[in-house]
Structure 1
């Protein structure tokens, strides 16, 4: 019989591409991963891997098994959840990956409602950038993700089902007393000499902000970098910098001014699940909750912590 844990390693190899990457994701040594995949070959009596020097790749049989394994593992998760709840109440663990600005505005309000309405359901929140959440979904480390469709190098692909959640836009964030804190769209070129706050290098927002500045024909003078949007908002509120942020990320608790860009940068916020086996009841319930509008006052930084029913893997924003 094929071992589900080894099947998951094969799925990860198909998605991540190298034994070393699989080992890092599974908290194993590369040699342990190789040994377990060799055992899987023995279990299936089929050559699943081709070894070229120190690298391996999936054979045609390995590719077929990896694709089928995703369906098998999803079905096993569904059966386990149904048995736990006897098919009457959504139950079990659903891992929800989401980028920073959607945590308090979309994810936490949904998780709060789910904790109230489905006490046997546990939602684990994982803060993941879009380039991290899509691979996590494909290898089974997340069951649902919240991402965007505007990342050029992010292959969403036909293996994922997408559920639109909201429309968002990128805005310029200024201190309240800034000379540019008026009304109407702004041209970024007018802010070329300003001190800028940026996200961490190679993050989604840092790459986007740098690209927009370059399109406006200037190199931004970056005076600080924060991995947490709220720290950036504090810096702007103190008059020490300006920054570009998704409008979802602008917490109303901070005294800042937002301006639309003269060349709009819209984005679509989307939930995604793996296509194939029908999603288990718990996953469907989470998707339904994400589509609901947040309770009055829940969005835009009410300080909701998501403690009820949510494992606190996402750091404070």
Structure 2
């Protein structure tokens, strides 16, 4: 069996459609279909069946797609073993992290790893929670920093989760805002202009849900996928926003943060694919990254209410 075709089959199980697999693999849908047909010939088993205009996996296809992840992980471990023997971490580990965790969690961990394990390379990819879990399952990354509070994330026995930190959500205001001090009741900000993350993102969904729980529909005047742009917008007095503490902890923008009267906290978690029993140096490299993430210093204390960060 060709491992590249196995990866396409695994991606079909994760993404659901041939078109989505083609986009992820940068191929045409017809090319993906042809390669999956070749895989059926290689295995001598019917792996796909038509359901209307779509293609779905047969029972045998589902079994092979899910076993393929372990097969591909094992092949990666063999490649790493050929680079060197023993348990010294080596090779490449791809680390996916959402935006506010890149500077606060991922980069410090990579700096420590560079000093402790010179033969280990870590590639950081910015991936928001809705994208990082599929990327992990498709073996596009080896470790992710995510939040399991994102309702759409499917969890299962194929993953190992490692809690890293608790990250409170804060109301962020311009420094001259008239709001006063102390924990903020979102209902008092119903008439404010708001800045949100992009539609479909974790923070956009969370912020909208919190506003609606406070019984108002927010008037959104800005949408930014980058927290620095959101902070600039708030600093200029154009809007208010909700951001996790990690996003403003090291910010140089002149803004004010307020805790919420009903605290909202997200759990920051590292996730990896469940270990292959004979993984050797490949798993040693992943373990080294996890250990470095767990050794993070405590997050900086929250700015006192009404103070700029």
Normalised TM-score (structure 2): 0.91
Match in the other structure for 1:264: 263
- 1:134-191 alpha-carbon deviations (Å, 9 max, x no partner): 1111111111111112112221222211000001111101112212242x21100001
Question: 2:285 matched to 1:286?
Answer: no
Aligned mates of 1:65, 1:6 — CA distance in 2: 11
Report the 3-state secondary structure (helix = DSSP H, G, I; strand = E; otherwise coil) of the residue aligned with 2:234: helix
Contact 1:92 1:121 in 2 (8 A): yes
Counterpart of 2:194 in 1: which secondary structure? strand
Q: Judging changes above 3 Å, is the alpha-carbon distance between structure 1 residues 238 and 150 closer, same or farther for their aligned structure 2 residues?
A: same
- CA deviations 1:216-263 (Å, max 9, x no partner) are 111112121111001111221222211100011113422211111111
Following superposition, which runs of at least 4 residues in structure 1 exceed 6 angstroms of deviation?
Answer: none
Deviation at 1:86, TM superposition (A): 2.5
For 1:54 and 1:222, how far apart are their aligned partners in 2? 39
Question: Using the alignment, how far apart are the partners of 2:20 and 2:210 within structure 1?
Answer: 32
| Aligned-residue offset at 1:53 | 4.2
Once the 2 structures are TM-superposed, how far is the Cα of residue 82 of structure 1 from its aligned partner? 2.0
Label 1:295 to 1:167 Cα distance change in 2 as closer, same or farther (>3 A).
closer
User: Is the contact between residue 181 and residue 259 of structure 1 (CA under 8 Å) also seen in structure 2?
Assistant: no
Determine whether 1:46 maps to 2:45.
Answer: yes
| Native 8 Å contact 1:93 1:124 kept in 2 | yes
Matches within 5 A, 1:73-152: 73-152=72-151
Match of 1:202 in 2: 200
Determine the structure 2 residue equivalent to 1:229: 227
- Cα distance in 2 for partners of 1:295, 1:130 equals 22
Contact 1:105 1:294 in 2 (8 A): no
RMSD: 1.9
Distance 2:297 2:180 in 1: 29
8 A Cα contact 2:174 2:240, kept in partner: yes
TM-score by length of 1: 0.89
Q: Is 1:177 matched up with 2:183?
A: no
* Residue segments in structure 2 that go unaligned for 5+ positions in a row: 303-309
Q: 1:165 to 1:67 in 2, by over 3 A?
A: same
Write the distance in 2 (CA, Å) between the matches of 1:127 and 1:98.
5
Structure 1 unaligned blocks of 5 or more: 301-317
